[in-house]
Structure 1
Amino acid sequence: MSVYDCTADDKVPDRFRKTLGSNLDSLRAHNLSAILTQIHHDHPLSRSDLAAATGLNRSTITILVNDLIDRGLVVESNGAGEGSRKSAGRPRMSLHPSDRVLAIAVNPEVDAITVGVVSLGGKVERTIRYETDEPPTMRRAVKITTAIIEGIQTMLPSDSRIVGIGVAVPGLTNAIDGSVALAPHLGWRQEPLASTLSEETGLPVWAANDAHLGVLGETVFGGGTHVGNILYLNGGASGIGGGVISGGMPLKGATGFAGELGHFRIRSDGKRDSAGLQGTLESEVTRDDLLRSLGLESRDFLKLDAALTEPRTGIAQQEINRQVHALGTALGSMVTIFNPELIVLGGFLGSLLDAEPERLRHLVAQESLTPQYAVVEIVRPELLENVLLVGAAELAFGALLRDPTAFDIAPEPSNGATAAEAVA
């Protein structure tokens, strides 16, 4: 993001002062956005770090940082802190995003609704998973989510502020109005999710496809921070979703629904997936088939993840081999189409990667063109099971990061408890 010095010139003619004032306000908001976004993504940073990163002079940095501190968005502490450049002499002051500024992240699934509390800076402070016996309707999901949020709000310090809610939806979601066009596993069609949840909670709500938010989280806070071409696939209870970063930009398509990689066809026969398409990646690679082969009754992701790294029976190994073969075949074709530098496999797809890493990589190489595969790295998300929540929170933090001036001056702290301590 570009930044600009915005010191007023005392010699500006009076007839231009009104326009100049407006322009200066705009420049100030722009620079505050740049500074806050930098601290949010790359903390801890010193004021000198910010000056070097933005090109602004030190006096301008001081004014902007003090404004963000007054608004309760940034805190300053002694010591360089992890990640900040150090120098000899007196300890440097480090700037961090305030953990009193929070977003609520929500991921509705066919078997559970997961709600996370995420502080500015991308840290997941707490996760609450509410299991359901059957896929919830949109309105039931809203009621459950609202009840969880109300419980969370009673535990937070009075000076904590929730800026909004981000929802990671396993389906086709209109990122402009937060409506769900189609989430087949949940049985949702043309549902006004964001507006309904906002009406119930009194908070602004944004919603987008879960895999699109997964790749957002990983590019902002995970292993894709400096990678311009990423292929992200997430495997969950609702099947497989995908997100693509090409040339540093998200691939959206004509209607914003690009990246439905779970419906990528890999055979002419086979089972039909949730959308009625035959022989797709989603129909061949499924979490439930893995659970059955391993004899697991729990649908908890961490238990499945652990089971796939332990010694396995013949039936379980056969199922793992079958799914790894299908996944490798699909990824090989995707490498040829998208030419990524990085493939990130989230959810149970990452578990399959850990279970058979060499086999999967060999299959991808076998099914793609050598010059394209040569530049590809296949990994799990650095954020692991939190990747969707972090991405959803980033959606909710977006308005604040774009315009910190819309955020009021912070109230006085009521006690010494941090948000993290309050919801622990």
Structure 2
Amino acid sequence: MGRKNSVDHSDMRDMNLALILNTLYKDAPLSRALLAARTGLNKATVSSIVKDLLALSLVRELGIDVSSTDVGRPAINLEPNSHAGYMIGIEIGVDFISLIVVNFAIEVVSRRYESTAKLYNQQAVLDRALFLLDESCEQVRKMKRPLFGIGIGVPGLVDVTTGKLLFAPNMGWQDVPLKEMVKAKFNVPVFLANEANLAALGESQFGAGVDSNFMVYLNSDVGLGGGIVLNGNLLHGASGFAGEVGHMTVERDGRPCNCGNRGCWETVAGRQALYRRIEEAISGGQTSWITAQIDGDFKRLSIPMIVEAAKQDDPVAVAALHETGEWLGIGIASLLNVINPQRVILGGSLSAAEAFVLPVVRETINRRALRWVREKVDIVTAKHGEDAAVMGCIAILFQNVIENPRKWMQETAVSE
């Protein structure tokens, strides 16, 4: 009986640690008295918990709260300690690697972005990703603070239990034990997940979905991925693959998709679909400002180039963006009718074209979604743009630290 009570008391203390830390992250600076008022814990419990968090270096004292009206000892404000530790988020995309190092205040302290277009095989890309991670881990080691973990985002089906990338159709990768590879090399907690799911979590925690209880994130890039967040938690589905919206069939006899199906949504609403429309129009003899920019090489097409052309009222660019926006709207209208979210967030490289795409998306939704559904939804672009997935990597690491800070500090302690 004594053992059970001891376990329960320890669990309750860890829950209170998490509650205090989460409250400070959202509302700092706060005094101990304000923490007690916000959390409903008594002042003695708050003081004891804060003492633990100070000892763990997870929070720090700022100085006297001059706004306090309490009589007696002056109140001292507290906030999360930005130097408590660091987290690394890395996205291995179809043609790039993006990496950030973030402190405990969710401030980016360094970043790397590299094209992998010239790395022609899987091993070369993996070697480069491990090299960039090694550089960043060494950066954290020099700061002599804990590395709380590494989050990895990839564009494909992921078994989150084993940490294996099962299938990435737009990369041609299958059965890659990424989590095991990274954990074996760096010996820190590692999380692997689908990049669109991570981006959804990143926008939910730190971006355009902060005040939304039920949101859908869409990542329109080489492919078209999605993530669904309900009350701050990702919906994983029965097999862990929820959110593969890009592989909904929207055309019965449509174009072949890299997944093996035909007529998938991403074949008409992704970045490659936009590029294809530009290429077909110019190859068909239509006049465009883009023609001189690419000099016959359609591999030089980019979203910024197409947006710049559209700003000049280039008819090819405007028409291609509008058609892509219409197909996005068609798919989103179906999603709204099925799951009825509060907010839809558009991210990925196509979000840079929001001025031309978003009005068409909204117009299409107004024509195709049920009125009672569309009247309750916001359609917005991602706050973090192409950084949404790496911010999601940080979100999943941060959640785990917050939920059990004592355990996390013990597991990632820095040897003096």
Normalised to the residue count of structure 1, the TM-score between the two structures is 0.83
1:21 maps to 6
| 1:336 aligns to 2:337 (yes or no) | yes
Tell me how far apart the structure 1 counterparts of residues 329 and 243 of structure 2 sit (CA, whole Å).
Answer: 18
Tell me how far apart the structure 2 counterparts of residues 137 and 61 of structure 1 sit (CA, whole Å).
Answer: 54
| 1:116 aligns to 2:110 (yes or no) | no
| 1:184 aligns to 2:185 (yes or no) | no
Tell me how far apart the structure 1 counterparts of residues 309 and 369 of structure 2 sit (CA, whole Å).
Answer: 26
The answer to whether the Cα contact below 8 Å between 1:168 and 1:389 also exists between their aligned partners in 2 is yes
1:153 maps to 137
Tell me how far apart the structure 2 counterparts of residues 221 and 159 of structure 1 sit (CA, whole Å).
Answer: 26
Which of 96, 102, 107 aligns to 2:91? It is 107
Task: Give the 3 Å change call, closer, same or farther, for CA 253–153 of structure 1 in structure 2.
Answer: closer
2:42 maps to 57
Partner AA of 1:266 in structure 2: V
Q: Secondary structure at the match of 2:311?
A: coil
2:208 maps to 223
The answer to whether the Cα contact below 8 Å between 2:221 and 2:271 also exists between their aligned partners in 1 is yes
The answer to whether the Cα contact below 8 Å between 1:46 and 1:93 also exists between their aligned partners in 2 is yes
The answer to whether the Cα contact below 8 Å between 1:178 and 1:195 also exists between their aligned partners in 2 is yes
Which of 254, 270, 282 aligns to 2:254? It is 270
Q: Secondary structure at the match of 1:105?
A: strand
1:319 maps to 320
1:213 maps to 198
Task: Give the 3 Å change call, closer, same or farther, for CA 234–310 of structure 1 in structure 2.
Answer: same
1:251 maps to 235
Q: Secondary structure at the match of 1:142?
A: helix
Partner AA of 2:367 in structure 1: Q
Q: Secondary structure at the match of 2:203?
A: helix
Which of 39, 42, 51 aligns to 1:66? It is 51
The answer to whether the Cα contact below 8 Å between 2:349 and 2:385 also exists between their aligned partners in 1 is no
Residue deviations 1:326-360, cap 9 Å, x none?
A: 11111111111111110000013423433243322
Residue deviations 1:151-180, cap 9 Å, x none?
A: 223434432221111011111111222111
Tell me how far apart the structure 2 counterparts of residues 410 and 133 of structure 1 sit (CA, whole Å).
Answer: 35
Tell me how far apart the structure 2 counterparts of residues 299 and 37 of structure 1 sit (CA, whole Å).
Answer: 44
The answer to whether the Cα contact below 8 Å between 1:72 and 1:410 also exists between their aligned partners in 2 is no
Partner AA of 1:388 in structure 2: A
1:380 maps to 381
Q: What is the CA-CA distance between 1:71 and the residue it aligns to? A: 1.1
Moved more, 248-257 or 105-114: 248-257
Tell me how far apart the structure 1 counterparts of residues 83 and 122 of structure 2 sit (CA, whole Å).
Answer: 31
Higher helix share: 2
Q: What is the CA-CA distance between 1:256 and the residue it aligns to? A: 0.8
Residue deviations 1:8-51, cap 9 Å, x none?
A: xxxxxxxx655433332222122112222333455444433422
Q: Secondary structure at the match of 1:331?
A: helix
| 1:394 aligns to 2:395 (yes or no) | yes
Task: Give the 3 Å change call, closer, same or farther, for CA 409–70 of structure 1 in structure 2.
Answer: farther
Moved more, 35-44 or 321-330: 35-44
Moved more, 135-144 or 375-384: 135-144
Q: Secondary structure at the match of 1:350?
A: helix
Between the two proteins, the alignment pairs up a number of residues equal to: 393
Task: Give the 3 Å change call, closer, same or farther, for CA 308–33 of structure 1 in structure 2.
Answer: farther
RMSD: 3.0
Tell me how far apart the structure 1 counterparts of residues 150 and 412 of structure 2 sit (CA, whole Å).
Answer: 20
Partner AA of 2:183 in structure 1: S
Which of 186, 198, 204 aligns to 2:183? It is 198
Partner AA of 1:395 in structure 2: I
Q: What is the CA-CA distance between 1:149 and the residue it aligns to? A: 2.4
Q: Secondary structure at the match of 1:265?
A: coil
Tell me how far apart the structure 2 counterparts of residues 97 and 236 of structure 1 sit (CA, whole Å).
Answer: 36
| 1:365 aligns to 2:366 (yes or no) | yes
Which of 16, 20, 31 aligns to 2:16? It is 31
Partner AA of 2:92 in structure 1: P
Q: Point out where structure 1 has 5 or more consecutive residues left out of the alignment.
A: 1-15, 415-424
Task: Give the 3 Å change call, closer, same or farther, for CA 308–78 of structure 1 in structure 2.
Answer: farther
Tell me how far apart the structure 1 counterparts of residues 251 and 264 of structure 2 sit (CA, whole Å).
Answer: 7
Normalised to the residue count of structure 2, the TM-score between the two structures is 0.84
Q: Secondary structure at the match of 2:237?
A: coil
Q: What is the CA-CA distance between 1:409 and the residue it aligns to? A: 11
The answer to whether the Cα contact below 8 Å between 1:99 and 1:119 also exists between their aligned partners in 2 is yes
Residue deviations 1:104-157, cap 9 Å, x none?
A: 101001211111112223333222012213566554443222211222234344
Tell me how far apart the structure 1 counterparts of residues 46 and 231 of structure 2 sit (CA, whole Å).
Answer: 31
Tell me how far apart the structure 2 counterparts of residues 29 and 240 of structure 1 sit (CA, whole Å).
Answer: 39
Q: What is the CA-CA distance between 1:285 and the residue it aligns to? A: 2.1
Q: What is the CA-CA distance between 1:289 and the residue it aligns to? A: 4.9
Partner AA of 2:106 in structure 1: G
Q: Percent identity?
A: 27
